[in-house]
Structure 1
Amino acid sequence: MDSTELELLVEIINRKLLEKQIRPLSYTEILIMQGIWHYQTYHQIAQEKGYSAGYFTNVVAPQLCQRLTELVGSRVTKKNCRVLLESYLDATCTALKTTMLKQHSVDSFPDTDQKPSPSYPSGPVPLGSSFYIENSTLSTRVYEEISKPGALVRIKAPKEMGKTSMLLRILNYAESQGYRTVSLNLEQIDSSILNELNLFLRWLCANVSRQLQIEPRLDDYWDEDIGSKVSCSLYFRKHLLEQINSPVVLVLDEVNQIFEHPQVAKDFLPMLRSWYEEAKRLLIWQKLRLIVIHSTEIYVPLELNQSPFNVGLPIQLGDFCLEQVQQLAQSYGLDWSNGEESQQLMTMVGGHPALIHMAIYYLSFEEMNLAELLKTAPTSSGIYSHHLQRHWVTLQQQLELLIAVNAVMSSTEPVQLEPIVAYKLSSMGLIKLDGNKATPFCQLYRQYFNNQQLKIDENNN
């Protein structure tokens, strides 16, 4: 089964789940299916995609197997998953599979503008997708900046706001310009490595070398007498940059992971700034174009003149505006030109790109109308149930955050929060900040968390 057929398999399963009024496959469930089809272990899938192996093995995989078992009527395990699903499709979905293959075949419709059926909107929007809503102003600024010698771009936003989708396009643009590209996700690092600066910098050098297809020679440059930061900088300058004749775009994604390790952060982050500043006087460093991506504001005990987060080009990803919501609806075949439907949806979920996209996806199948979707949105039976429950589980594990959320969601006025609490809730995308004063990000969160608190109060009574 090739990648096109696997994509069709996911679409067929999602349609069947929707027919049963069950939520479609999540992004992480799809990642596991892709890994199974490539004969990968759960650990390999998790490592490649930047997730915890334990999370995939103990949480996502059992949930996926249970859902597929209910769908196909036979017990699904990792070993038999592929065989059972192929048999299921051959037995019950032959007609649908044939139709969808024709829809996806360019050769079948060489003279038409027919579009493929949309996939469930989870994770980054693929390159070339008609469902990607670009902020052309921000994209143009980034493209122009990375064309400059020694550039540094800082992209920040809460999770699920489109950082990774934008990153895919930045890397594609850089490669189209003949630049070499390296993309590292710091979520992929073992915590033991993040706890020790020397191990972390060696991890960085080794991974950059491999992505640039240059033989790692760390021991030739590592010298404990000069320290790991100088060793790392020498390795980049002498071993990597001198061998490459084109600009190198180095992306460090999920840099917020390092904030939990201040002993490493206080040395690593100033080192990045030093590379940026060295480019002003040394031509060799001008080849390096840094892109640092992180969630929301940064609370790291660094001296302001040492931090890389007040230099370079800052890019803050924001919400969809009304016109962008209408544009996305149009790409799904919905006529929302009068703006009424777009405004109603935005009243509930703000301009949150992922929540907007999910709603429009469901509405495009005409399984429900907008009024029904909005009525059930903040409940456990709505389309956002998985999204909301994930936040609820996280909050229950951190009492300080739960108390703060209850205060913000139940108040009609902005609530003053401690900076670290404000940062964490903003990272989750649950609140909007004006200084340290917080308001709910949207009515969806206000209604859902108020209902959860009401249930707790009732149970306590």
Structure 2
Amino acid sequence: MPDSEDPKQASSNDLRNSQFGGGLINAGTVNAGQIGGDIYNIHLGQQTAASVNSVQSENQRKRSQSERDSLEKAYTLQSQKIANLRTALVIESDVTRKFQHEQQLQEEERTLRELGDKLDAIEQQLQASDNSGLEIDIGIYVERPPIEDKCYKAIVQTGALVRIKAPQKMGKTLLLEKILDSARQQSYQTAKLDLQLADIDILANLKTFLQWLCVDVADSLELEPQLDKHWQEVFGLNKNCTRYFQKYLLSITDTPLILAIDNFERLFDYPEIFPQFCLLLRGWYEAAKQGDKIGNIWKKLRLVVVHSTEAYPSLDTNHSPFNVGLAIELPEFNLQQVVDLAKQHKLGLLKEQSLSRLMELVGGHPYLMHQAITSLRDATRTLRSANTHLESQPVGLEELLGLASTEQGIFSDHLRQQLWNLQHNPLLELGYKKVVMSNTPTRLDTEVAFKLHSLGLVKFVGNDCICSCDLYSQYFSNRLGR
């Protein structure tokens, strides 16, 4: 996968005497590009035969969090400065000064956008790190029958298309890795495209994106790109990409190729790319149904698409890859699966009653449950090193439950990131406030509801929304209810 480039350098801004948190910050001239230091790239590679993404070191993660905090403060200050300028612009009557205010406002808004880009970049890094959190223990995987078996059987079918959908941090990427590993055991070729790692420049236009796709898949297969040979400007962009796969990637071997696309929802915000790319994937899927020589070539391609929301832009049903193939929706863990997770972490002492108490807090959410059990496991190991006589009561359970929704709890980083997601989208924040402050299911705007569901913050009850777990209810009723 290509490495992410550093975000663009933001311009300098005079924030002297800017107000924040009720006090004055005498910061002199603040360079937005220097706040919090440099934003470091994450280099994701492969670990063992399972090809699991590596995780940021703890020191780098803390540094990234510190950078994010500094950038958030700068973003708030800059937003306040722009609000003051807009107010001054409205009441200013002098033509010359009004023009000066307009020029300054344009510059400050540009700086705000640059700060926002830097915040988005660092949030993507932290998100990638969090998403990898379930993959730290690469030998641990909790099956959710019959989902895995369905995927394994589907992927060996000619021209298969598997669609995996679930909110964030539900284990979609882990399931994807299991599918790819199963395919490798069949001696299939595999190529994984993680759109979360695509640079903004790659998503600038359809041509750049499709050429990146071609080169990246070739690189995964350890082939030379050969774009010059197979990409002819006389053809359209989708046609060129199709020719590249048909005449090069799929024709040089009889071995099936699994192309997996993770974090597909990243494209929903790119209207120039999304509909055309969906049309392309649907075309490849349909080509495999042909009975001629070309159809036999496309039968070797198997597609796996992973996304975290249903709120994708509207598409012609005949052009969409979201209404064909095998649809998989990942559910939360049930109690037996949570028991299995605890056993794999060698926490056999955890009784079902204790695990039920954890489920009352976080439901069967895989990521949150994994965090809780890992914390209890580490506490148990620490105690075992000092005392070999352990009681059946899990070590640290009461403390974990008592501090769960606070800044001292083990979920604090995750909760703060979710809060950041809400605070930077006023419509989502307002909608979620209605949910957490209500004792009954709440009806929300469809797009808002689906985005909150994508973040894992709500569950659907018919067409209405409820808070997805008690942890979120406790934390956000306190933060948003003020």
TM-score, length-normalised on structure 2? Answer: 0.69
Residue 304 of structure 2 corresponds to residue 306 of structure 1: no
Deviation at 1:331, TM superposition (A): 2.7
| 1:450 and 2:477 aligned | yes
Aligned to 2:181: 172
Give me the whole-angstrom Cα distance separating, in 1, the residues matched to 2:297 and 2:162: 19
Cα shift at 1:297: 1.4
Pick closer, same or farther for the CA change 1:208–1:46 going to 2, 3 Å.
Answer: closer
Q: Which residue pairs with 1:202 in the alignment?
A: 211
Q: For the residues of structure 1 that align with 2:426 and 2:55, how far apart are their CA atoms?
A: 24
Q: Which runs of 4+ in 1 moved over 6 A?
A: 46-52
2:464 pairs, out of 437, 449, 457, with 437
Secondary structure of 2:398's counterpart equals helix
Once the two structures are TM-superposed, the CA of residue 159 in structure 1 deviates from its matched residue by 1.4
> Which 5+ residue runs of structure 1 have no aligned equivalent?
1-40, 65-119
Structure 1 pair 154/144, CA: closer, same or farther in 2 (3 Å)?
same
Amino acid at match of 1:149: T
Once residues 124 and 171 of structure 1 are traced to their aligned partners in structure 2, the CA distance between those partners, rounded to angstroms, is 17
User: Which stretch shifts more, 326-335 or 399-408?
Assistant: 326-335
Change (3 A) 1:175 1:261: same
Show the counterpart of 1:369: 396
In structure 2, the residue matched to 1:322 is: 335
| 3-state SS of paired residue (1:310) | coil
In the aligned structure 2, how far is the partner of 1:46 from the partner of 1:334?
Answer: 30
Q: Is the 8 A contact 2:311 2:451 kept in 1?
A: no
Q: 1:306 corresponds to which letter in structure 2? A: H
- CA shift, 1:59, in A, is 5.3
Bigger Cα displacement from structure 2, 442-451 vs 339-348: 339-348
Pick from 409, 415, 424 the counterpart of residue 442 of structure 2. Answer: 415
- The Cα offsets for residues 96-155 of structure 1, whole Å up to 9 and x where unpaired, read as xxxxxxxxxxxxxxxxxxxxxxxx9962436861x3212242111111111011100001
Q: What secondary structure, in the 3-state scheme, does the structure 1 residue paired with 2:162 have? A: strand
Cα contact 1:50–1:187 (8 A) shared by 2: no
1:125 is matched with which residue?
A: 135
Q: Is 1:404 matched up with 2:402?
A: no
The answer to whether the 8 A contact 2:55-2:132 is kept is: no
Q: Deviations over 1:232-266 (max 9, x none)?
A: 10110011111022000001111100011022111
Please say if residues 279 and 320 of structure 2, whose CA atoms lie closer than 8 Å, have aligned partners that are also in contact.
Answer: yes
SS at match of 2:280: helix
- Residue 201 of structure 2 corresponds to residue 188 of structure 1: no
Which of 190, 205, 224 is the equivalent residue of 1:215?
A: 224
What secondary structure is seen at the aligned counterpart in 1 of 2:43? helix
Aligned residue for 1:149?
A: 158
Change (3 A) 1:199 1:58: farther
User: Deviation at 1:324?
Assistant: 0.8
Which stretches in structure 2 are left out of the alignment for 5+ residues?
Answer: 1-38, 47-52, 69-129, 384-394
Matched, 1:272 2:288: no
Using structure 1 for the length normalisation, give the TM-score.
0.72
**Paired residues for 1:57-72 under 5 Å:** 60=64
Alignment equivalent of 2:358, drawn from 337, 345, 352: 345
Q: Which residue of 2 aligns with 1:241?
A: 250
CA distance in 2, matches of 1:44, 1:374: 33
Are residue 388 (structure 1) and residue 415 (structure 2) matched? yes
Give the deviation of 1:417 after TM superposition: 1.3
Which one-letter code corresponds to 1:246 in the other structure? T
- Paired amino acid for 2:41: H
Amino acid corresponding to residue 440 of structure 1 in structure 2:
C
Checking the alignment, whether the CA contact within 8 Å between 2:172 and 2:330 is kept in structure 1 is yes
Deviating more after overlay: 247-256 vs 158-167: 158-167
Distance in 1 (alpha carbons) for counterparts of 2:170 and 2:273: 27
SS in 2 for 1:219: helix
Task: Measure how far apart 1:44 and its partner are.
Answer: 6.0
Is the CA contact (8 Å cut-off) linking 2:288 and 2:299 kept in structure 1?
A: yes
| CA pair 193-318 structure 1, distance change in 2 beyond 3 A | same
Q: CA deviation at 1:377?
A: 0.8
- Pair 1:58–1:195, CA change in 2 (3 A): farther
In the other structure, the counterpart of 1:355 is 368
**What is the deviation of 1:445?**
0.4
Which structure features the higher share of helix residues?
1
State the percentage of identical aligned residues: 40
Q: 1:349 to 1:435 in 2, by over 3 A?
A: same
What secondary structure is seen at the aligned counterpart in 2 of 1:60? helix
- In the TM superposition, residue 360 of structure 1 has moved relative to its aligned partner by 1.4
Q: Which residue of 2 aligns with 1:95?
A: none
Tell me if structure 1 keeps the 8 A contact 2:144–2:333. Answer: no
Contact residue 418 and residue 436 of structure 1 kept, 8 A: no
SS at match of 2:41: helix
Q: Which SS does the other structure have where 2:460 is aligned?
A: strand
Contact 1:121 1:361 in 2 (8 A): no
Report if the CA contact (8 A) 1:413-1:439 is conserved.
yes
Match of residue 298 from structure 2: 285
**Distance in 2 (alpha carbons) for counterparts of 1:187 and 1:432:** 24
Aligned residue identity for 2:164 = I
Structure 2 residue aligned with 1:101? none
Residue 298 of structure 1 and its aligned partner are, at CA, apart by 3.4
Contact 1:50 1:185 in 2 (8 A): no
**RMSD value, Cα:** 2.7
CA distance in 1, matches of 2:345, 2:239: 52
Amino acid at match of 1:60: S
Q: If you compute each CA radius of gyration, which structure gives the higher value, 1 or 2?
A: 2
Output the CA distance in 2 between the equivalents of 1:170 and 1:231: 29
